[in-house]
Structures are given as structure tokens and as C-alpha cells.
Copies of this chain bind each other. A is one copy, B any other.
């Protein structure tokens, strides 16, 4: 996690992009920028909260640990999104961990400044409110899936979700470089089980593989597999 020159692309930053114009100079003066290497941990649950992060490029997993070598990936943050905001509110301790999945550039502001932004900038607060509402919907949806959906369904859902978030490359593969381990953590199941389910999906011709890359072939059947009552 190396501090670098500010190269924040203002128009793809949640903070800059949703703020009053007159507040932007303050942001630019205040924030710092870091480059985070693939795999590097940014903060861990239990760490005292210092600030909020905004993703410029790359991708970051937000996760909760369990048992030293088990975790659940709660969501991914990528360009234009933020993380660390769960540190707000009571406690002053991050309830989750964050690490770079793909080498990332992030902007950082400390909590005090962030809260000042909220005070000064009601419209920003409102935007953040909407952002949290969406996160909460996703979160509860995922909760229900973990409780009731089979692993195969969850894998299907995870893949669709990844494609929605990261898009596809020119040759049609999901545009993210994710280890199988992380995929498993995202689907909320073990490595081996996810692997087997992937195999089934391949032989049912619902997805295609090329090395680590994954391509969705039969989007509709995948959706149906996830028995999805689409109230996204």
C-alpha cells in the first residue's frame, strides 16, 4: 500500500462526483492516493477506523473472516464505488476487512473530513443514503440466498452478479481475474464444492471456461437455476 501522487479521475469517484462543486477543491487538497498491490490487505475487521476509501481503478473485496482460513466475501468495490464506510457510526471499528483482488488505486480521506463532507453537503448525504439502501437490498437478498438456495444456485447467482458488476472482455469472458478460492468465498461455500458445481455448469453448457476465465453461455437458464424471483 504505497502512497502515490493524486491521480484521482474525478468523474469516476463517488466522493467527487456526488459533491457540491465548491467542496471539490477541499477534497482535492485533503485526500491522499494509494496504490494497493494485488492481494494486499487494506484493513481488517477489528482495526480502528481511520478513514473512507474510494476506488479509482482495480477491484477490492470486502469480506468477513471466519476461522483463520475461511471467509465470506460480502461485496466487491470497483471504479466509482467506495468502501470502509461501514466504519461510520458507533464503535469506531471496522466490522469488515478489505483487500485488493486486482491491483487498485484508491483515494482516501479520514473520517473527520468525510463526516464534515456529510454535514456540509446534504445532497451528498442523500446520495450516500441511496447507495446504502441499494447495498442493504443486495445484502438481504444474499442473506436469503445463503439460507435457502443450493450451492449450485449460489454459484450461478455469483457468476451473474460478477458479470453484471465487471462486464465482459472482447471475447466474452467475465472481466475479472478472481481466484477460485475467492469465487468460493463469494458464493459462500467451500472451494471443492464450488469447483464441482462449476464442472456441472460446464457440462450442462451453461458456462464456458478458458483457463481461469469464465464465460456465461445460457444466461436465462442460469437465472432460472437460481430460481430467481427477480425483485432485484
Contacts A74-B143, A231-B46: A132 and B134 contacting too (C-beta < 8 A)?
A: no
Chain A residue total in the interface (Cβ 8 A)? 46
Give CA–CA (A65, B231) in the complex, Å: 11
Give CA–CA (A126, B119) in the complex, Å: 8
A17 within 8 A of B: no
Give CA–CA (A90, B130) in the complex, Å: 9
A232 within 8 A of B: yes
A167 within 8 A of B: no
Interface on chain A toward B: helix, strand, loop, or mixed SS?
A: helix
* Contacting pair B147 A231 (CB below 8 A): no
* Contacting pair A64 B132 (CB below 8 A): no
For the complex formed, measure the closest distance between the CB of A142 and the CB atoms of chain B, giving whole angstroms.
6
For the complex formed, measure the closest distance between the CB of A75 and the CB atoms of chain B, giving whole angstroms.
9
- Taking a contact as CB atoms closer than 8 A, the residue among B136, B148, B229 that contacts A136 in the complex is B136
Q: What 1/0 flags go to A137-175 for Cβ under 8 Å of B? A: 101111110111000000000000000000000000000
Contact sample, A vs B, 26 pairs, CB 8 Å cutoff: A46-B229, A64-B143, A66-B147, A66-B148, A74-B140, A74-B144, A86-B133, A86-B136, A88-B130, A88-B133, A89-B133, A90-B134, A95-B137, A95-B140, A95-B141, A95-B231, A118-B126, A118-B129, A122-B122, A125-B125, A132-B133, A132-B136, A135-B136, A143-B146, A146-B147, A146-B188
